[in-house]
A and B are shown apart, each in its own frame.
Chain A
Amino acid sequence: MSLIDYLDPLVAAVLLAGIYAAMSIGMTVIYGVMKIVNLAHAGFMMMGAYFAFELFERFHVHPVIGALLALPTFFLFGMAVYWLLVRWLPRSDQPTLSSLLLMFGFWLVLQNVALLIWGNEDQSILTPMTFSVIRFGPVSIATVRLVVFVLAVVSVVVLQIVLRRSWFGRAVRALIQNPYAAQITGVDDRRTAMLSFGVGIAFAGFAGSLLAMLYSFSPDFGRQFLLRSFVIIVLGGLESFSGVAIGALILALVETFSILFVQASYQPAISYGLLVVVLLVLPKGVAGLLEKKWRVA
C-alpha cells in the first residue's frame, strides 16, 4: 500500500470519530451526573433514526433538519422518561443493579414498541446526497459522511460551551466532581439530573438521526453502537467530556487502521480487546492519564 492509500482511511477514521463522539457524549452526561449506565441508549438512538425517517417519509423533511429537530424532541422525551421512571431509582454515587435493569428493560420496551409500529423491516433514508462523493485529489469523501461529521462536531462543541459557560453546565460539572459539595452550595441535584438526562437522550436521538443517514436500520438498530459507546466512554475516563472526543478518535483510528493489517473479521476483537486493555492499564481512561501527567508537571 502506498502513502496515499493511508490517507483515505485516515480521513475515514476522523469522520467516524465525529459521529462516535456525538453518540457517546449523551451517555457520559447521564453517567457523570447520575451514575446510571444508560443501557437504553441504543433504543433512543434507534428511535432517533425512526424519527428522522418518519419526518422524511411523511413530511419530506431533509434528514439534516430531522436530526436538528431530534435534539429538542428527544430532550423533552428524555425529561419525560426521567420524570416517569428514572427519578424513582434510589440515589447512589455508584451504578446500581436497579438502574441497569430499568434501563435494559426500557430498551426492550422501546424495541418492541418499534417492532409494533414499524415492523421488522429494515428502513433507510435515501436522498440525492446519499451516494454523492466529493473528491480531493486521490481522496474521496462521501458527502453524507462529511455532513454528518460537521453536524456531530458542531453539536459536541456547542454542548462543551454550554457545559463550560452556563449555570446548568457548572451544576453538571459540580455534581460530577463532588455531588455532596455541589448540593451544599445550592445545586438542585434533582432538577440538574432531569435536565442532564434530557440532554443525554437528546444526543442519543440526534446521533440516531445522523446514523440513519449512513446506515439502514431496524428496531434492533443501535446495539453495536452501544457497545462502541461503552468502549469510548471507558477510554475517555467515564465522566470526562473532552475524554469522549479523544476516546472516539482513538477507537475510530484503531478500528479503521487495524483492519489494514489484520483480517476485517478480527475488527470486533480488536475494539473490545482495546476496552480490556484500557480497563486493566488505564482504569480512569485517557482523561485520568492526562490528569496524572498534568499533576506531575
Chain B
Amino acid sequence: MENRFMRNRRWKAGLLFLAGVAGLFASPTQSAAQGGDTITIGVVLPISGREGKPGQYQKEGVELAIKQINDKGGLTIKGKKYHLKEAFYDDGSDSAKSASLAERVMSTDNATAVIGGYSTALGEAESVMPDRYKTPWLTPGAAATSIFSHGYQYVFGTLSPVLLLGSTTAEFLGYLVDQGKLKKGLKIAMAVENTDHGIDYVNGVQDWISKHPGYFTVVFNEKFELGGTDFSGLLQKVKAARADIFLSDAHLQDYITMQRQYLQSGMHHQVISYGARGPEEAARKALGDGINYIFAGIWWSDKLPYPQAQKFINDYKQFTGRAPDSWYAATAYDSMRILAQAIQQAGSTDKTKIRDALRKAELKDSILPGTVLKYGPNGQAGYPFVIVQNQPGGKVEIVYPKNAATGAPIAPTP
C-alpha cells in the first residue's frame, strides 16, 4: 500500500517534470518547398532566450529571401529548377545547443549550406562545425574578428568587423570635434561585454585614438559579463572616472538594462553609445525617451537611400506585418541572397564548389551600405558602417558618414 502510494507520488512528480522538459525541446521546422527538387538550407538561430528577438528578425530576413527566390521559380542549376527548403532550429540563445544544432543540420539533415549564429558568442560556437562537415556556413549576426582568424575554409560573415565599428565610432567622435560640437582632449570611459565582440570594439576605438593623438583619452576601460541584471557597481566606477564620453558595447538586453540603470544613476555624458545597439524598438518600448541622443554604429539602416533597400522594407512589411527593427533582418536577407547567387554560380549542389563560388561572389544589388556585398580572404565582409542617432519624437537619423546623413547629429547631449 505504502509502496503504491509512493509510486503514485513519484509518478506525478515525474510527469510534471517531463511536461516542463518537453517545453524545452523545440522541434525543427521546415518551410514548405513548392514540389520538385529541393536544396536544403539549414538555419540555426535563437528565437527564444535572451537573443530571441534579434534572432527572430534574422530568421524572417532569411525566410523572406527564400520566399522571393522560390516565388521566382527557384534556382536553376544545369537547366534544372530547384526550390529552396529551410530546415530551421532554435538554439534558445545557448552556445552549446547552437553548436550541436549546427552539427545536426550539417550531418543529419545534410543541408547544402547553413545560415546561423546570431551574436558573437553563438556564432563562435557554431563556427567550428563548417570545416568539419565541409559545409558552407554564413553568419549574418556574428562579427568578432576571432571567428575569421582561425583559417576556416567554409566560414563566411556578412557583418563588417566589430574592429571597424569601434574605429568608425571613434572617427565619428573625431568628426564631432572637427565640427566644433565637442572639444578636443575629452575623456572616454568604456564598458564593454566580455566577449571577442567587446574586445574588438575597444581595440577599434583605441586604434583610431592612437592614430589621432590629442583628440581623446581613454580614462576607464572595463568588461562586464553578458546577461547581467545589475550594472550599478560598474556604473559607479564609470561615474568615478569622471569621463566626458561613455562608450559601451553591449547586446540588446544588456543595453536596455544598462541604460535604465545609467539613467537612474543620474549620470550625464556629452556622448553616449552602446556600439551596434541603439535604435531597436524593444529599447524604445522599455525606456521611452530614455534612449534619446544615443548613437549607434550599425550595419544597415532603413534610412539608406537605395531603391533596393526601400523595396526590402516594403517586402519585409508585407511579409511580417511590421517594419524592420534596426539592421538584423537586412544582413540575414543578403546572406541568403548571396548564398543563392553562389549556388547558382557554382552550377552544382556540391558544397565545396559552393564554398568556392562564395569566395568570388559579389552581390551587386546589396541593400547594405555601399550596395556591394562580398567576402574578404578571411571570409568576412568589409563594407562601411553608418552611425545613427535616436532623436526626440521617436526619430532615428543617419548622422555619419556625411554623404549618407539624413539628419544632423545632436551633440553634446542636452
Write the residues of chain A forming the contact surface with B, with a CB cutoff of 8 angstroms. Answer: 1, 5, 8-9, 12, 16, 85, 88-90, 98, 101-102, 104-109, 111-112, 115, 120-124, 126, 130-131, 133, 135, 140, 142, 144-145, 214-216, 218, 220, 224-225, 255-260, 263-265, 267-268
- Closest partner residue, chain B, to A4 (CB atom): B240
Q: Name 24 A/B residue pairs within 8 A (Cβ), A-sorted.
A: A8-B236, A16-B230, A88-B8, A88-B13, A98-B9, A102-B16, A105-B21, A106-B16, A112-B23, A120-B49, A120-B52, A122-B282, A122-B286, A123-B286, A124-B285, A124-B287, A130-B263, A131-B263, A224-B229, A259-B234, A260-B236, A264-B223, A265-B223, A267-B228
Determine whether the beta carbon of A260 is less than 8 Å from that of B20: no
- Closest partner residue, chain A, to B193 (CB atom): A265
- On chain A, the residues within 8 Å of B1 by CB distance are none
B178 CB within 8 Å of chain A: no
Write the residues of chain B forming the contact surface with A, with a CB cutoff of 8 angstroms. Answer: 6, 8-10, 12-14, 16-21, 23-24, 47-50, 52-53, 56, 191, 194, 222-225, 227-234, 236-237, 239-240, 253, 256-257, 260-261, 263-266, 282, 285-288, 290
Q: Report the separation of the CA atoms of residues A139 and B229 in the bound assembly, to the nearest whole angstrom.
A: 22
Determine whether the beta carbon of A107 is less than 8 Å from that of B20: yes
Q: Report the separation of the CA atoms of residues A144 and B264 in the bound assembly, to the nearest whole angstrom.
A: 8
- Closest partner residue, chain B, to A268 (CB atom): B225
- Closest partner residue, chain A, to B252 (CB atom): A122
Q: How far is the CB of A279 from chain B (nearest CB, A)?
A: 23
Determine whether the beta carbon of B194 is less than 8 Å from that of A265: yes
Determine whether the beta carbon of A265 is less than 8 Å from that of B16: no
Determine whether the beta carbon of B286 is less than 8 Å from that of A102: no
- On chain B, the residues within 8 Å of A120 by CB distance are 47-49, 52-53, 56
Considering residues A85, A135, A216, A218, which has the most beta carbons from chain B within 10 angstroms of its beta carbon? A216
Determine whether the beta carbon of B263 is less than 8 Å from that of A124: no
**Interface of A, helix, strand, loop or mixed by DSSP:** helix
- On chain A, the residues within 8 Å of B9 by CB distance are 88-90, 98
Q: How far is the CB of A138 from chain B (nearest CB, A)?
A: 10
- On chain A, the residues within 8 Å of B48 by CB distance are 115, 120
- Closest partner residue, chain A, to B282 (CB atom): A122
Q: How far is the CB of B387 from chain A (nearest CB, A)?
A: 25
**Looking at the complex, which one of B237, B239, B285 makes contact with A259 (CB distance below 8 Å)?**
B237
Q: How far is the CB of A158 from chain B (nearest CB, A)?
A: 26
Determine whether the beta carbon of B260 is less than 8 Å from that of A105: no
Q: Report the separation of the CA atoms of residues A268 and B223 in the bound assembly, to the nearest whole angstrom.
A: 13
Q: How far is the CB of B92 from chain A (nearest CB, A)?
A: 10
- On chain B, the residues within 8 Å of A85 by CB distance are 12-13, 16
Q: Report the separation of the CA atoms of residues A245 and B76 in the bound assembly, to the nearest whole angstrom.
A: 69
- Closest partner residue, chain A, to B23 (CB atom): A112
- Closest partner residue, chain B, to A2 (CB atom): B240
Determine whether the beta carbon of B264 is less than 8 Å from that of A145: yes
Determine whether the beta carbon of A256 is less than 8 Å from that of B232: yes
Determine whether the beta carbon of B17 is less than 8 Å from that of A88: no
**Looking at the complex, which one of B8, B19, B223, B229 makes contact with A109 (CB distance below 8 Å)?**
B19
- Closest partner residue, chain B, to A135 (CB atom): B266
Considering residues B16, B194, B287, which has the most beta carbons from chain A within 10 angstroms of its beta carbon? B16
Determine whether the beta carbon of A109 is less than 8 Å from that of B16: yes
In the complex, number of A-B residue pairs with CB atoms less than 8 Å apart: 155
- Closest partner residue, chain B, to A224 (CB atom): B229
Determine whether the beta carbon of B257 is less than 8 Å from that of A142: no
- On chain B, the residues within 8 Å of A142 by CB distance are 261, 264-266
Q: How far is the CB of B248 from chain A (nearest CB, A)?
A: 12
Q: How far is the CB of A73 from chain B (nearest CB, A)?
A: 22
Take A215-B257, A216-B256, A263-B223 as given contacts and tell me if A98 and B24 are in contact as well, using a CB distance cutoff of 8 Å: no
Q: Report the separation of the CA atoms of residues A264 and B235 in the bound assembly, to the nearest whole angstrom.
A: 10
Q: Report the separation of the CA atoms of residues A120 and B14 in the bound assembly, to the nearest whole angstrom.
A: 26
Q: Report the separation of the CA atoms of residues A256 and B231 in the bound assembly, to the nearest whole angstrom.
A: 9
- On chain A, the residues within 8 Å of B240 by CB distance are 1, 5
Determine whether the beta carbon of A104 is less than 8 Å from that of B233: no
Take A108-B21, A121-B282, A122-B256 as given contacts and tell me if A264 and B233 are in contact as well, using a CB distance cutoff of 8 Å: yes
Q: Report the separation of the CA atoms of residues A88 and B9 in the bound assembly, to the nearest whole angstrom.
A: 6
Determine whether the beta carbon of A90 is less than 8 Å from that of B285: no
- Closest partner residue, chain A, to B288 (CB atom): A126
- Closest partner residue, chain A, to B15 (CB atom): A105
- On chain B, the residues within 8 Å of A102 by CB distance are 13, 16-17
Determine whether the beta carbon of A131 is less than 8 Å from that of B264: yes
Determine whether the beta carbon of A112 is less than 8 Å from that of B194: no
- On chain B, the residues within 8 Å of A263 by CB distance are 222-223
Considering residues B18, B224, B232, B239, which has the most beta carbons from chain A within 10 angstroms of its beta carbon? B232
Q: How far is the CB of A223 from chain B (nearest CB, A)?
A: 9
Q: Report the separation of the CA atoms of residues A264 and B53 in the bound assembly, to the nearest whole angstrom.
A: 26
Determine whether the beta carbon of B233 is less than 8 Å from that of A9: yes
- On chain B, the residues within 8 Å of A8 by CB distance are 236, 239
Determine whether the beta carbon of A267 is less than 8 Å from that of B20: no
Q: Report the separation of the CA atoms of residues A264 and B224 in the bound assembly, to the nearest whole angstrom.
A: 5
- The 9 A-B residue pairs with the shortest CB-CB distance, nearest first, are A108-B20, A105-B17, A142-B264, A112-B23, A140-B266, A133-B266, A120-B52, A265-B194, A124-B286
